[in-house]
A and B are shown apart, each in its own frame.
Chain A
Amino acid sequence: MQTHQYDVVIVGAGGAGMRAALESSTRARTAVISKLYPTRSHTGAAQGGMCAALANVEEDNWEWHTFDTVKGGDYLVDQDAAEVMAKEAIDAVLDLEKMGLPFNRTPEGRIDQRRFGGHTRNHGEAAVRRSCYAADRTGHMILQTLYQQCVKQDVEFYNEFYVLDVVLTHDLSAGTVPDGEEVSVAGVVAYDLASGEIHVFRAKSVVFATGGAGKIYKTTSNAHTLTGDGMALALRRGIPLEDMEFFQFHPTGLAGLGILLSEAARGEGAILRNSEGERFMERYAPTIKDLAPRDMVARAMANEVREGRGCGPNKDYVLLDLTHLEPAHIDAKLPDITEFARTYLGVEPYTEPVPVYPTAHYAMGGIPTTIDAEVLRNNTDVVKGLFAAGEVACVSVHGSNRLGTNSLLDINVFGKRAGIAAARYAETAPWHEMPDDASVATVEYIERLRDHATGERIADIRRELQETMDRNAQVFRTRDSLTTALSDITALKKRYRDASVQDKGRRFNTDLMEGVELGFLLDLAEVVVVGALAREESRGGHFREDFPTRDDERFMLHTMAYQRVRGDGQGTVELDYKPVIITRYQPMERKY
């Protein structure tokens, strides 16, 4: 076992983690721990752009952006946070440009902007050109640019280290620590993949930026490595997760594969059609049609398929039509996604429409934080020194449905805020004792997984989990489907306890880490389903067929899910609720 000491430890080296590192490493001694090489992070897969009311190509205003974000999130957005994000978006884009990000340019040489789903002029009048972009690889450029800056600043990275525990001064998992008591972070426990060794990092501040958990679903645009590590670690240590039942399904995943085709395609003029060739979005969102927010488009698509207007031999997808666009325009603005269609489906987007179907894309929920990225352990108290930013966190700027491009914005705005806050806190904060047995639980956990001589395969359990989530907790949900999912998950969790990994070695044991990650996925899937069962309404990304309307009376609240460990040592999910912060915009019906 090795021990390290840093003022600030950042967990995760995607957009949010590296943006935080750029801020904190100039102010305090900082280490970034990542289970991947930083440039492998899934920020790089984001395509369409990053919205900011620069007004470079047409009139725009950050207040309109705030409104769109709030409305897009079906009013479950904390409006103070949305204001911060929309206002700081402008600087976030300019910061990136100054770091060297190669944005597409207008003829005058300024940053070009294009339309994107749900972003409108003057509170919904018409689509507005707000998304700053670099072809259809904006996320790639952001990730590369941030990494370049980290190289420039000589940020210290621990690559291919898995953080497996976060150490707090109090045990919150039983729910016995009274409100108001000061709880602080002491550090994290990590596993070095290359050697199999345990490293303990003592830190004054810890920033979680571990990203999403798309792998609870089978069809997903997420990377294999997006297993919700940070969320699950917090949950296990008694920190709540907020609004986890809201999961975004991106309308245009490559059918059957889930690979993302950016909304930018529709921003550039592509049209969704059903088997009759009808532009069906005209029926669902008469004003902005194909550029309606993702939850509405995804539901519309699923509905077309359900009503028998799907395409293909099994009538199980719809078509994204780019054939009316100029090939040169497609090449200039959407080169990567058209190549995906060619490579993976053998479809030529110049001449043929591309089969698409919704794919699990983004967790709106996560670790609850304040607008300064401090992690909340209940509705009011923060855990001192613990911060979270990016998809792992829930500020909440996305409410029940995130608008396209707002995730790249989220990681930049709140990544920066987290980095600054973490370093500031570390300036004055005391060191907290790291108990000698800090790593014991982690070692026991992985050894148990490794030592089972025989047992079920991790992959089998994971596959069953993903299948039940796809079947029962996807775009359309009912009490019955969710109950089925919950009982499946409970059974799978039981089987997981006896599962075994085949690779018993120490060096680069990815089999073992997949086993650990499955534990995270199971915990998170349970939180998603329990939250979805309790939320008897339909809002944003959460649609209950048995409760098809929004119910502001009962559910204009954030879900706060806790994993409480009772006598038998097994955790159960308990729910609480937190009020939504409303500043300017009273909830209205959401029509586009």
Chain B
Amino acid sequence: MATTIPAGPLAAPRSARTTRSRGSSRTNMEMVAWLFMRLSGVLLLVLIFGHLFVNLVQGEGINRIDFAFVGGKWASPFWQFWDLAMLWLAMIHGTNGMRTIINDYAERDRTRLVLKVLLAAAFLLTVTLGTLVIFTFEPCPIGAPADLLPSFCPAS
């Protein structure tokens, strides 16, 4: 009537929930983060679809894209700001998302710490490099073939 099959190990009893401080917290990091995710999400929709439209649809569409096109865009402060906003918002949004995933799924404090340090490093690296590229981009590198450069370059 009864049969027995071994089952996998049980989760070890966990430490009791630690009682938290009752300090006043009219706004705190988590609420700001939660709000940021919603607001940046909406903004990113506009930024990304605007970006895609300008790059892929407008004019000759995708065939237009070359070094000269990119160089031309980043010569304009408007597009520099646009792409910078897109970079930062997307990176913070994504990083925060990763952070909550780590919080939700990494069970040990040590694992959490390691993962979060890695995440922060990846974030810093990407954001720093991206920002540098946007602002230090040279649209008219010396010695480049003229047909690849934007029309306003002196070499052409």
A–B: direct contact at CB < 8 Å: no
Q: Which residues of A contact B (CB under 8 A)?
A: none
Q: Which residues of B contact A (CB under 8 A)?
A: none
